Every structure is written in structure tokens, then in C-alpha cells.
């Protein structure tokens, strides 16, 4: 496999909107780099909270990928709050989505690494590989490993995608398999084949139950 250069990324990978190497004062950089592309995090976030609402009295919340509930999260959209950032509580976790919509060619695999700016603050970004012929906005996993609240800035750089071009085209692509995360339009909760999708996975459903928690988090 070979790593795609900046010119090859422009030619082979569909990224919308595509940005040059954007370095502006006071902004976490984003856009194409020598051998990668720094994606931006969007405005919508889901932050883990222990204030779950569907527990039996005295029960304990458990994160179960086969039975995932939206009540584990508080949803915040900075486009609605008027702020340029969100706060992830100490030792907590958030899901987010990229500004960019990406389409991976059939002979390319993309992997993701965090940006140094956030990594040096104890903020770890995790994105699973983008498989050949996957399309959509990328769901980003962000961990605050510090004992302090951490800021994440919307519409600024969050992670770098590295594109690997294979020597041979794969026999079966993500599109061929009918992957469950194909063409996701934004932040998507975990799904397991054969099981129902998490309920309430919409910003409208979250707004009423999360309003107070959102205000508390944003006020930090």
C-alpha cells in the first residue's frame, strides 16, 4: 500500500467541502496536508452523562453496544446555543460528526489519527477505518482523559485522515456488503446487524430531555 499525497487526495478522494491547508490565527488548522487531510468537527455533539432517564429505581447504567440507548447522552448543537465550543466533563466521552462528507474509492482505505493540538491536552480522537467505497459524514469519538473539563471547538480541525492506496482492488467493498453505516448523514449511534437501531437518535427528540443538562455543561 502507498500513502496518498496532497495532489492524489485532490484527484482521487471526494471530500465536500474541500479545503486547502487552512491555518488562521486562533483556529485549530484543517484541510489538505502533505500526506493527509485534517477534517473539522461539526456543531452537533452527544456527551455521555450518568443522569440516565430510563433506569429502574436503584438500577445501574451499562453501556451495551447491542442495546444502546440515547438516554446515555446529552445532545448539544453549538449552532443552536450560539457558542463556538462544547465542554466534555472530566474522564468522559463524546460523539461528534465531521463537517466534511467523504467518499472512499474502491482501492483506498482511510485511517484516522488525532491532531497534536488536542492530543497534547489529553484529548484523544478515535475513528475506525473508512473502508473502500464507504460514503458519508464520519462519526468521531472523542475522549477527555484528563481530570478537568475540556473544550472542543466546533467547525475547526479535530483529526487527520490518512489515505492508503492498495496494490490491488478488493474483491468485496463496503458498498458491496451493504454496510449499515453507509451514507450516514451525520452523527450515528452504534448498530449491530439484526438488531433494531437505538431509539430517539434525533436532535429533536433529545432537545426536551437534554435542555437542563445542556445548559449546565455549557456554563462551565
Catalytic residues: 141
- CA-CA distance, 57 to 145, in Å (whole number)? 30
For the beta carbon of residue 147, count every other beta carbon within 10 angstroms: 8
Angle subtended at Cα 66 by Cα 65 and Cα 72, rounded to the nearest 5 degrees? 50
Specify the DSSP element, H or E, that contains 5: none
What DSSP string runs through 117-159? HHHTTTEEEE---B-TT-EEEEEEEEEE-SSS-EEEETTSEEE
Amino acid at each position: 500500500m502507498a500513502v496518498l499525497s496532497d495532489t492524489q487526495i485532490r484527484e482521487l478522494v471526494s471530500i465536500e467541502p474541500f479545503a486547502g491547508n487552512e491555518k488562521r490565527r486562533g483556529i485549530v488548522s484543517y484541510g489538505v496536508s502533505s500526506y493527509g487531510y485534517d477534517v473539522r468537527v461539526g456543531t452537533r455533539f452527544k456527551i455521555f452523562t450518568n443522569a440516565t432517564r430510563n433506569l429502574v429505581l436503584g438500577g445501574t447504567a451499562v453501556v451495551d453496544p447491542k442495546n444502546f440507548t440515547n438516554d446515555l447522552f446529552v445532545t448539544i448543537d453549538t449552532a443552536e446555543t450560539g457558542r463556538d465550543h462544547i465542554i466534555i466533563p472530566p474522564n468522559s466521552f463524546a460523539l461528534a460528526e465531521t463537517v466534511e462528507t467523504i467518499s472512499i474509492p474502491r482501492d483506498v482505505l482511510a485511517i484516522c489519527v488525532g491532531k497534536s493540538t488536542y492530543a497534547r491536552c489529553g484529548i484523544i480522537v478515535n475513528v475506525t477505518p473508512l473502508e473502500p467505497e464507504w460514503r458519508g459524514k464520519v462519526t468521531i469519538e472523542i475522549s477527555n482523559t484528563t481530570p478537568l473539563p475540556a473544550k472542543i471547538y466546533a467547525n475547526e480541525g479535530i483529526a487527520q485522515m490518512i489515505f492508503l492506496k492498495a496494490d490491488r482492488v478488493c474483491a468485496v467493498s463496503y458498498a458491496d456488503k451493504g454496510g449499515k453505516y453507509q451514507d450516514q448523514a451525520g452523527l450515528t449511534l452504534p448498530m449491530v446487524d439484526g438488531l433494531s437501531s437505538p431509539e430517539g437518535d434525533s436532535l429533536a427528540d433529545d432537545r426536551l430531555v437534554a435542555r437542563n443538562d445542556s445548559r449546565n455543561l455549557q456554563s462551565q
